[in-house]
Amino acid sequence: MTGDSVLTAEVSNSKVAAIFTNEATAHEVAARLRSTLQLSDAQVQVITPADRRPGHKLEPESQGIFRTIIRAHVRLGLLGAVAGAAAFGVLWWMELPLIVNSAVMAAAVMVAFGAVAGLMLGGLVSLRPDHDLYINKVYDALGEGRSAVVVHAFSREQSAQAKDLLKGASGEVVSTL
């Protein structure tokens, strides 16, 4: 099962990271995660201060992120336009003079504002604000000379299992939604 949702196009929407004081422990925990949860090497990454590009291990799906931007904007923009049209329909049905007397203009404005609101929500989804804490926590740990184990879960169940195992091995666990 993939984490592909209606608004995002990434294979792994849910990510879990745990911070460890040394690299050896991080590698041991990563190996235990792979075997216990039957995860692939690509799903469980160890990030150390020596990694030249830790961002690739934290967010490896650059194409998925681009598709998420497109998908979220298109779908939420259209949904917003439909919501604007529905709101116009309700107001027109209620026979509000402002709407009835200038129906074409009112419809155009309401559909346009609905579309803009949807596009703004698409931007929020594209920014992935739930990833900020996850990314910042790992970068802070790397700056302090510590290592991290990152799990790219394909489902909420896989994410919860990984989180439970990592909590048992480390006191510092952070995840995305």
Whole-angstrom distance, CA of residue 126 vs CA of residue 74: 11
The whole-model pTM stands at 0.68
Whole-angstrom distance, CA of residue 90 vs CA of residue 81: 14
CB-side exposure of 69: number of CA atoms within 13 Å?
6
pLDDT value at residue 1: 38
In this predicted structure, the answer to whether residue 4 has a pLDDT above a threshold of 60 is: no
Note whether 134 and 144 are within 8 A (CB). no
R_g of the chain, CA atoms, integer Å:
22
Residue 7 lies in a domain: no
pLDDT value at residue 111: 98
49 with 31, same domain: the answer is yes
Residue 5 lies in a domain: no
85 with 171, same domain: the answer is no
Whole-angstrom distance, CA of residue 109 vs CA of residue 123: 21
Could you give the number of structural domains in the chain?
2
Residue with tokens 């116009």: 88
Residue 108 lies in a domain: yes
23-57: burial string, b at 16+ Cβ within 10 Å, e else:
bebbeebbebbeeebebeeebbbbbbeebeebeeb
pLDDT value at residue 3: 45
Whole-angstrom distance, CA of residue 144 vs CA of residue 148: 11
pLDDT in tens, 38-55: 888 888 889 999 888 887
pLDDT in tens, 114-171: 999 999 999 988 887 777 888 889 899 999 999 999 988 888 888 888 888 888 887 6
Residue 8 lies in a domain: no
pLDDT value at residue 61: 67
Residue 3 lies in a domain: no
pLDDT in tens, 60-105: 666 667 887 888 899 999 999 999 999 999 999 999 999 999 999 9
121 with 153, same domain: the answer is no
Question: Using 50, 70 and 90 to split pLDDT, how confident is the model at 22?
Answer: confident
**Burial of 110: CB neighbours in 10 Å, binned 0-12, 13-18, 19+:** buried
Range of the domain at 55: 14-63+130-175
